[in-house]
Structure 1
Amino acid sequence: MARLAAFDMDGTLLMPNHLLGDETLSTLKRLRERDITLAFATGRHVLEMRHLMGRFALDAFLITGNGTRIHSVEGDVLHRSDLDPEVAHRVLHTVWDTQASIHAFNDSGWLTDKAIPELLHAHVYSGFHYQLCDLKALSASDVTKICFCGDHDDLVRLQVQLSEALGERANLCFSAVDCLEVLPVGCNKGTALSVLSGHLGMTMQDCMAFGDAMNDREMLGLVGRGVIMGNAMAQLKAALPHLPVIGHCQNQAVSHFLTHWLDTPHLPYSPE
């Protein structure tokens, strides 16, 4: 049986309205009653996740910023990774051929140079908000990650530009169809979960994980039991064709799967 369960948030645990369903919350508490350690592995900022954890009343380790930070249940920093300052400066100061908006993150929060109210919809229940600033005036020495948000096809073209400019000095990934992220070299949820499992005296074979986007690929591929959401990006399903696909986040499919795993593991599972 898994000893550590790691969960992506958006598109996985959270429903399309960005809320955690009652059935899901109840099932997560059942895991804790079975002494299974919880970890939330997300692109969201730790400041937002701490607020959400308070609302959920759950004890869990936090892997945030797509692996740039790991925090203990008590809130201590277990691991941190920042972009190479030269990479951050290059990305923030280059005029890229894209219509996408650009967003930088550091320990103080979410920073961008123009108001885009629709981006706040995903954060309506936490109240997490961007701070407006001149990104070119931002210190490049403590940037954890940089995101571009926009049309997917435009972001695919931008990915080519960034890859040519940055080479092997950064990790590029889609955390959603409309969000392309620039992360530190070697930084992803999988490497972060490996660090956390080692800290807890476990191996990745002791872990199960759930996700729906390309930023979950390494994590799902490295754990003993990886599970893909039915609403996952097609690229993720294609990249990990051997992993099981369950139902949609709107139906709280993670809860459905885990309830079966806890109560009737001897029976074959079929998505709701």
Structure 2
Amino acid sequence: MARLAAFDMDGTLLMPDHRLGDATLATLKRLRERDITLAFATGRHALEMRQLVANLGLEAFLITGNGTRIHTFEGELLHAQDLTPQVAERVLHGEWNTTASMHVFNDRGWFTDKALPWLLVAHGMSGFEYQMADLKRLPTDEVTKICFVGDHADLEQLRLQLSDALGDSAHLCFSAFECLEVLPPGCNKGAALAVLSEHLGVSLAECMAFGDAMNDREMLSQVGHGLIMGNAMPQLISALPHLPVIGHCQSQAVSHYLSHWLDHSDLPYSPE
């Protein structure tokens, strides 16, 4: 029996319209009734996630910023990791051959210099918004991560540029087809989940996790029970071919799977 369940948000728990379905919320509450600890592991900001969890009436640990922060459900900071000022400076002031927009995150919020209202649709449940700013004037000693949003093919080329410039001083990952993130080295959801599981006295073998993108790879690969969404990035499915693939987030597949696991764990599972 799992003692800790970790969930990615977008493309996993949330439906394509970025809402949490009623069946999913009910199933998460059933897990809590079984004394299973919940953790939301997401690229979203801690400020946004704390509000969402409070609005949903759930007790859950928060792994945010793709592993840059871990908070208890009371809001206590358990772990923090930032880009070095040198890396932040290099990315913010670098000349990159890309049409992607740049987004900077620190503990005060989300900052960009290009208004993209369509990005806010994903944050409708919380009302969380970016702040317009001159990115080159932001303090470089408090940057948690930097995100580039654009066409996937363009981001693939940008990833090569950033890799050449930063080497092993940063971790690069796709959190979605249109989103490339620059994170501190060794920083990912899996590393953060390991910190959290140790804090809770739970082994990773006693954890289950759900995800859909390459930023979920480390988390899914190291838990006792990793599950991939049917709508996942093909790269993730290829990278972890031994893990089961469940249904689509549109049909609240996490709830469907967990309901079967809670009620009929002795029977084979089928996504249909």
TM-score (normalised: structure 1): 0.99
Alpha-carbon deviation of 1:58? 0.2
Aligned to 2:129: 129
Deviation, structure 1 residue 51:
1.1
1:86 is matched with 86
Q: Does 1:219 align with 2:219?
A: yes
Q: How does 1:95-244 map to 2 (within 5 A)?
A: 95-244=95-244
Runs of 4+ in 1 over 4 A off after TM superposition: none
Output the CA distance in 2 between the equivalents of 1:236 and 1:203.
Answer: 24
Cα separation, 2, equivalents of 1:98 and 1:124: 28
Given the alignment of the two structures, is residue 19 of structure 1 paired with residue 10 of structure 2, yes or no? Answer: no
Question: 3-state DSSP class of the match of 2:90?
Answer: helix
Q: Which deviations, in whole Å up to 9, do the C-alpha atoms of 1:77-134 show, x marking residues without a partner?
A: 0000000110000000011000000000000000001211111110112100000110
The residue type paired with residue 41 of structure 1 is A
Shift of 1:236: 0.2
Structure 1, unmatched stretches of 5+, are none
2:209 maps to a residue whose letter is A
1:166 aligned partner, one-letter code? L
Distance 1:127 1:37 in 2: 27
Quote how far apart the aligned CAs of 1:141 are.
Answer: 0.2
Report deviation, 1:235: 0.2
Tell me the CA shift for residue 54 of structure 1.
1.5
d(CA) in 2 for partners of 1:166, 1:59: 38
Matched to 2:207, the amino acid is C
- Structure 2 counterpart of 1:167, one-letter code: G
> In 2, distance between residues paired with 1:3 and 1:207?
6
Tell me how far 1:73 sits from its aligned partner. Answer: 1.4
Q: Which position in structure 2 is the counterpart of 1:42?
A: 42
Give deviations 1:31-73, integer Å, cap 9, x for gaps: 0000000000000001100111112100000000000000011
Cα drift, residue 199 of structure 1 = 0.1
**Distance (Å, rounded) in 2 between the aligned partners of 1:82 and 1:219:** 19
- SS of equivalent to 1:24: helix
- The 2-side partners of 1:144 and 1:54 are apart by 23
Secondary structure at the counterpart of residue 54 of structure 1: helix
Q: How far did 1:164 drift?
A: 0.2
Shift of 1:150: 0.2
Deviation at 1:203, TM superposition (A): 1.1
Q: How many residues align?
A: 272
SS of residue matched to 1:15: coil
Structure 2, unaligned stretches of length 5 or more?
none
Counterpart amino acid of 2:11?
G
